[in-house]
Amino acid sequence: MPASPWTTIAVYFLVAIVVSLLIAVVPGIFTRKRPTKEKLDPYECGVPPTSAMLGRFPVRFYLVAMLFVVFDVEAASFYPWAVQLRSLGAYGLVEMVLFIVVLGIGYAYVWKKGGFSWR
């Protein structure tokens, strides 16, 4: 009896789940927990902290981070499109041009609103 095509996918997911659980759980079971002052101090690029972190991060920090993720994911969609361009033909080219135009409008809007500025 031949194996189902879904068997390979099921085995892949099973291995992924087992490895993920092992990576997440095993270190917590076998490590020694000996907290010291140095281990509990916040660490930033090897520079000792000069003061306690007071207040909150500005919202602009999160907005820039979200914009980076959005534009990065959208830029990652260019590779599969480029691979399939010949089979998509003119329709695929027009769709990607429209996609880039929409991205450009969003980019221009964020730039005009000062979303990329740290001040």
Domain ranges of the chain: 5-112
To the nearest whole percent, how much of the chain has pLDDT over 70? 84
pLDDT given at position 20: 96
For residues 64 and 55, what is the distance between their CA atoms, to the nearest angstrom?
A: 19
pLDDT given at position 64: 78
CATH for 5-112, options being 1.20.58, 1.10.3470, 1.20.120, 3.40.50: 1.20.58
Please report where in the chains the tokens 């068997």 appear, as a residue.
7
Burial code (b: 16+ CB inside 10 Å, e: under 16) for 40-65 equals: eeeeeeeeeeeeeeeeeeeeeeeebe
- Rounded mean pLDDT of 66-95? 87
The answer to whether the pTM exceeds 0.75 is no
46 or 96, greater pLDDT:
96
Contacts of 77 (CB under 8 A, 6+ apart): 99
Average per-residue pLDDT for the chain: 83
Q: Is the pLDDT of residue 1 over 60?
A: no
